[in-house]
Structure 1
Amino acid sequence: MTREISANELGIDVSRGEGELFKWFLASFLFGKRIQQDIAAEAYRVIVDKHKRDTPRKLCNCSWQELVDMLGEGHYVRYDESTADRLLKLCAKLNEEYGGKLGTLREQSQDRKELERRLGEFDGVGPKTVEIFMREAEKVWY
């Protein structure tokens, strides 16, 4: 069985609010793909820690090529092009439909089932990504 990397191991404290929840959503998105967890963690660190793309707005201000390059820098190369495309769609949807805030998505959801359905509506977010994200988010949302 693959060891699960926690938010805490990435320096993310979801109890500190919106910014930290977005970082965990981004990490969960990377972990949700068929790729080694250590590589996904490194790609997260490159994007967030090194390049400071830690909000939906900052991430959306990247070009597709910049994202591909960052993913490559983190050795997340198997899915780098499709992941870059989906990350840009993810932050655009979050910005346009929820004002850039996962908390707004949560507030607009009547219950956990609806929240998980809304999360799954993001391009590239499947059941595994939702499961990983909710493992930490439920600590502050439920």
Structure 2
Amino acid sequence: MSGGVSASARRITDALLEEYGRTYAAEAGIRLRDTPQPLYQLLVLSHLLSARIRASVAVAAARALFADGMRTPRRMADATWQQRVDALGEGGYRRYDERTSTQLGDGARLVLDAWKGDLRRLRAEADGDGEALRAGLRRVQGIGPAGADIFVREVQAVWPETGFWIGAKGQRGAERLGLPTSPGRLSEVARDRDRAAFAAALVRAALDREVVERVQEAARAGK
């Protein structure tokens, strides 16, 4: 890490990544690569995570959809509305299951129509412009600003032109942990680390105060 990063920040970062350094994509069983199927699966997961529902439930619902074969936009679009509802319910995603089933079907058809089922075409359209990328993502039904931010935060592992992206929740997690909150300073903290995993861990700290307490305790023990 840079010499400008404090020893305290290094200890907190080490403890955070040791305990919580995994992306939500990995948690959902997505082997993220720059290929159409995992990129689409990440889009589905980003949609589910953006709702006002526990992240663990969103991850479980994504796993259930994929286990039922809805791993590509074609398979998602071809599934019946009830099949999507049933899979969402199996994952515990019941509060928004009917609306989300409709959005997933409509969104899959948009991905097929706009980008031939391949989100790398959206990447090429954006041509390194982060706002253009997020605007393209927001064209997909059910993907608002929060969902677009989640996608960009997770995809930075394979689309490095996004730069280091943590979003508002990541910044909130950094603040709770006592880390720098500016993207530039956090980028220094994350130097030579898996930045997508670091960003996801910061989000976990924003969502759960127990995460903050465990990380701070581990950091103190590592002095």
**TM-score with structure 2 setting the length:** 0.59
Question: How many positions carry a matched residue from both structures?
Answer: 139
- Runs of 4+ more than 6 Å apart: none
Quote the Cα distance in structure 1 between the aligned partners of 2:88 and 2:50.
15
How far apart, CA to CA, are the structure 2 residues paired with 1:5 and 1:139?
10
Q: State the partner residue of 1:130.
A: 148
Q: Does 1:10 align with 2:28?
A: yes
| C-alpha contact 2:81 2:105 (8 A) present in aligned 1 | yes
* Aligned equivalents of 2:138, 2:80: Cα separation in 1: 24
| CA deviation vs aligned residue, 1:48-72 (integer Å, no higher than 9, x gap) | 0x21210000111101111111111
Partner AA of 2:150 in structure 1 = I
> How far does the alpha carbon of each residue in 1:87-108 deviate from its partner, in whole angstroms, 9 at most, with x for none?
0010000001110011011111
Unpaired segments of 5 or more residues in structure 1?
Answer: none
Secondary structure of the 2:79 match is: coil
Alpha-carbon distance change, 94 to 122 in structure 1, aligned in 2, over 3 angstroms: same
User: CA shift at 1:83, angstroms?
Assistant: 0.1
Q: Secondary structure at the match of 2:33?
A: helix
Q: Which amino acid aligns with 1:136?
A: E
1:84 aligns with 2:115: no
Query: In the superposition, relative to structure 1, how do residues 70 and 11 fare at CA in structure 2: closer, same or farther (>3 Å)?
Result: closer
Q: Is the 8 A contact 2:34 2:158 kept in 1?
A: no
Quick one: which of 56, 70, 75 aligns to 1:53?
70
Contact 2:40 2:71 in 1 (8 A): yes
2:62 aligned with 1:44: yes
The RMSD of aligned alpha carbons is: 1.6
- Supply the AA of the counterpart residue of 2:125: Q
Identity %: 33
| Partners of 1:5 and 1:37 within 8 A in 2 | no
1:34 pairs with one of 47, 52, 74: 52
